[in-house]
């Protein structure tokens, strides 16, 4: 079975070289790697041309002007020929057996009569190239649980038609595109299942261009996703709202945030989480 891997990139040719190598050296060989170059200007195009000459599994799509990561992902997915599709970010890497592990696990689930919306796996997190954490993800995730946290991570493995029928990535969202898309996949096709093995190396090195250091975009993403998926469900709104203030973002709650949260009937655990976020940021913007 052919597996397609989409990989959007923009001006990260050094990181891209490692990412591309990690896909093309997989133990599972029946793959195509679709790199969508989002109008890079740093030598990415030449690197990809040279690499494609020696490995026909690499396909390159050039965006004439920058369109952003969600649009580039969608272009890659729509161009895919594989029965299954998964993704990779240009600053991350696949560990050698990732695709083979996914395919084998999908076959086993199918043989047991289990219909999965998608698969996800544990990750090794690195900072400046040094591993410092292996994730401990839940074995099964349902759509309602995605309001509490993105328990899946940043990549899924699923049949191509699941990506397309779920509606692909929302190109208008300013942040949380992965979270919102995975919500739709799970809502439409059912639970996601964990491959309990670290098969993905995630680069968590702090950088100024990360969405996590752009609080206005995160707040806006919350408003859009809550309107689309939470509706009048106060419990879902509360859970999703608390994600704005998770530790990695360092966003200080404002007085208006407290008022909004309490208007939904804030529960003790949620109040404690919001209080911790407030204290951690020294009450800076209350």
The token pair at 173 is 């969202």
Name the 3-class secondary structure at 244: helix
- pTM as predicted: 0.93
pLDDT of residue 247: 78
Domain boundaries, the chain: 3-203, 213-280
Helix, strand or coil for residue 69? helix
Class of 3-203 in CATH: alpha beta
Residue 208 pLDDT: 56
How many helices (H) and strands (E) the chain has is answered by 10, 10
| Token pair belonging to 65 | 């002007």
Instruction: Specify burial of residue 122 (Cβ count, 10 A radius: 0-12, 13-18, 19+).
Output: middle
Hey, what are 54's tokens? 């020696």
Q: What DSSP string describes 181-205?
A: HHHHHHHHH--EEEEEEEEEEEE--
Angle CA 224–153–219, to nearest 5: 25
What is residue 57's predicted lDDT score, i.e. its pLDDT? 98
pLDDT average per 10 residues of sequence, the chain (286 residues): 98 96 98 98 95 97 96 98 98 97 98 98 96 97 97 97 98 97 98 98 78 81 96 93 88 91 87 87 50
- Residues linked to residue 58 through DSSP beta bridges, in sequence order: 33
- How far apart (Å, rounded) are the C-alpha atoms in residues 187 and 127? 34
């Amino acid at each position: 079975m052919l597996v397609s891997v989409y990989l959007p990139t923009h001006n990260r040719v050094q990181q891209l070289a490692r990412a591309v190598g990690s896909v093309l050296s997989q133990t599972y060989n029946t793959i195509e790697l679709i790199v969508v170059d989002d109008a890079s200007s740093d030598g990415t195009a030449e690197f990809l041309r040279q690499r494609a000459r020696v490995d026909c599994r690499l396909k390159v799509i050039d965006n004439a002007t920058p369109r952003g990561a969600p649009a580039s992902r969608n272009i890659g997915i729509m161009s895919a020929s594989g029965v299954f599709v998964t993704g990779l970010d240009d600053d991350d890497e696949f560990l050698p057996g990732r695709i083979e592990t996914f395919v084998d696990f999908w076959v086993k689930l199918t043989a047991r009569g289990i219909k999965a919306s998608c698969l996800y796996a544990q990750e090794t997190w690195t900072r400046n190239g040094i591993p410092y954490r292996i994730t401990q993800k839940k074995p099964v995730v349902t759509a309602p649980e995605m309001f509490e946290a993105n328990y899946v991570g940043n990549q899924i493995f699923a049949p191509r038609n699941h990506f397309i029928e779920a509606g692909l990535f929302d190109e208008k969202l300013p942040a949380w595109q992965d979270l919102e898309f995975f919500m739709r996949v799970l809502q439409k096709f059912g639970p996601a299942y964990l491959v309990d093995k670290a098969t993905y190396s995630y680069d968590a090195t702090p950088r100024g261009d990360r969405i996590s250091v752009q609080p206005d975009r995160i707040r806006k993403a919350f408003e859009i996703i809550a309107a689309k998926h939470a509706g009048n469900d106060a419990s879902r709104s509360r859970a999703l709202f608390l994600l704005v203030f998770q530790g990695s973002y360092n966003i200080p709650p404002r007085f208006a945030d407290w008022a909004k949260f309490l208007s939904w009937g804030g529960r003790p655990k949620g109040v404690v989480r919001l209080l911790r976020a407030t204290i951690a940021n020294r009450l800076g913007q209350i």
